[in-house]
Amino acid sequence: MPLTIRAFTLPDANGDYNIYINESLSEEAKAKSLEHEKNHIEKGDFQKCAPARLIEQV
């Protein structure tokens, strides 16, 4: 995964969320990225119809 992508999350067919974190990041950056992705799940961002770039701005 390129360094420009820290992490991303994909919901699977069972409705579970799979978080992928860039292994090239520092441990601190990995932890921050995990929290960021978990926040998207908690806020219900995957049910929103807005483009990702708009969701990320909030």
Instruction: Give the pLDDT confidence score for residue 58 in this predicted structure.
Output: 63
Average pLDDT value for the chain? 91
* % of the chain at pLDDT higher than 90: 67
The beta-strand segments (E) located in the chain are 7-11, 17-21
Which backbone phi and psi does 41 adopt, to 5 degrees?
A: -65, -50
Residue ranges per domain, the chain? Answer: 7-57
Q: What is the mean pLDDT of residues 6-30?
A: 95
Which one has a higher pLDDT value, 47 or 33? 33
Phi, psi torsion values for 57, nearest 5 degrees:
-75, -20
Q: Which residues pair with 7 in a beta bridge?
A: 21
pTM of the entire predicted model: 0.82
> How would residue 31 be classed by pLDDT, with cut points 50, 70 and 90?
very high
Helix or strand holding residue 33 (H, E): helix 27-42
